[in-house]
Chains A and B, each alone.
Chain A
Amino acid sequence: MTAVDLFGLLGSLLVGIGLYGLITGACALRKIVAFNLLGAGVFLVFGVIARRGAGAGFPGDPVPQALVITGLVVAFAATALAVGLLVRLAESAGVGDVDDQLLPAPKITLGPMPEPPSGTEERPASPGAVALGEHAQSRVVAVVPPADRDPDDQTIAGSCA
């Protein structure tokens, strides 16, 4: 077995490991990490193809190598977008994940802005309740967590601490 075959195998296995992590990742951040592992595997396969195309005095075919360089920059941009979405989700809804199977879905109500706390009407009980779009003039989306959800849930370090 040559070094090129060895790294080809490594690239293929990285794709497999990344795919497994992407599907089973316990939280969205783990999925993003796994997605980047998968990408690294794909790039390595590209590198192996470039290495096999060595010739004319070059250690590798420069065309796939140049493609990998642009690919790495684009992968960074995609990761940045995913991370940005995740952080904003955590900020605005108070949840750290996109897993919709384990927690009951929050009720999304469309309607006029809830009364301010000084009013007689009681605010939604949970501190997790967030009114989105406070700057909208007439209609807001209020995400009201279900009553059975423990607000202290968020602070317990769990499988993905």
Chain B
Amino acid sequence: MNAVAILGLLTDLVLAVSVLMLSIWIVLTPDRLRAVVGFLANGILIALVWMRLGAPDVALTEAIIGGGLVTLLLLGASARVPPESARNAFADRDRWPLHLLAALLAAVVAVGLALVVLNLPEPAPSLASAVATELPATAVDNPVTAVLMAFRAVDTLFETVVLVVALIAFWSLIPEGAWFQRAGWLPLREPAPALVLLGRVLPPFGILTAVHLFWIGTTLPGGKFQAGALLAAIWALVLIAGLSQPMAAAQRLPRLLVVMGPTVFFAVGLAGFWLAGDFLAYPSGLEKPLILIIEAVLMLSVAAALGLILAGLPPAPGSLEQRR
């Protein structure tokens, strides 16, 4: 084993131990705000693990969505949900048998899963060679994009529909009578000057990076989900800094943006019936332009859906939040 391999293994070891310790700390720390901030750091570390596992596409998605956007949601919630009553802390002491049982159960599940992972069949079943054989037919060079947009396009289509359904379910929590009001989770009452400056300076670079991620997604790591999530994050930053007003659920533009992606994807899929003989089949010669069009529209839809979820819900009429 040469020096580089040993160094790589050491890095992996440090990374794995860091993620493990941080995860235990997140679960055990008494302060829930600390747990949420720790979760953000954990997301970035896990993105590094994904890089070490040879999956840069997943690493990008984990860093933006799994780390950043989820943490933003949780931070917003921890500011809005009143702290736990002190009574629970006392009651917790009497619950040690439950904690012991839960720890035993978790240990059994973890050890069982570890045994399975360490004894996976050799040679590992893989579709890599099948993807490599069929890759030229898609005119796309990034195998992950090819799987998402061609080989398993139905999964991706319904996943974008899931995002629309999730937004509908989320919006169904809007208080009665607040449908025409703007979502109220993100804007700070008094954003710090540095934050406002960041909100002005970062968006052009963020948008450029997002478009770049989308554009290279067909050949290199990147794609619509990463680009859309980055756009949503930039939008959230602008909203937090108070430089722009969040949208109301009753406005037409956000609704149109959200359903546009799945609609275009579905239309191209249906057109495949008589252009290429099957649902979601792309006519030969037009694969790459069609995939790029779908990816572009989906990027906007993903950005709109994620951004609208991040913007949150309007305060209930008459609630404290609204009177302030």
Contacts and interface: CB of A to CB of B under 8 A. Distances in A.
Interface of A: 2-21, 23-30, 32-34, 36-37, 40, 43-45, 47-63, 65-70, 72-81, 83-88, 90-92, 94-97, 99, 102-103, 133-135, 153-161
B70 interface: yes
B49 interface: yes
Nearest to A34: B27
A20 B87 contact: no
B3 interface: no
B188 interface: no
Nearest to B101: A23
A159 B81 contact: no
Interface pairs A-B: 7 shortest CB-CB: A16-B110, A59-B54, A53-B126, A77-B166, A56-B132, A160-B84, A159-B89
Contacts, number: 350
Given A48-B117, A55-B129, A73-B163, A90 B53 contact: no
A98 B80 CA distance: 15
Contact of B84 (A27, A43, A44): A27
Interface size class of B (residues with CB under 8 A): 35 or more
Contact of B105 (A23, A78, A80): A23
A60 B52 CA distance: 11
Given A50-B55, A103-B87, A160-B83, 20 more contacts: A9-B114, A14-B19, A15-B110, A20-B27, A21-B27, A33-B32, A43-B62, A47-B49, A47-B50, A55-B126, A62-B143, A62-B144, A69-B61, A69-B225, A77-B163, A77-B166, A79-B73, A80-B309, A84-B313, A91-B315
Interface of B: 8-9, 12-13, 16, 19-20, 23-24, 26-27, 30-33, 35-36, 39, 42-43, 46, 49-50, 52-55, 57-58, 61-62, 65-66, 69-70, 73-74, 76-78, 80-89, 91-92, 95, 98-99, 102-103, 105-107, 109-111, 113-114, 117-118, 120, 124-129, 131-133, 143-144, 146-148, 151-152, 155-156, 159, 162-163, 166, 169-170, 173, 175-177, 185, 223, 225, 302, 306, 309, 312-313, 315-316, 318-319, 321
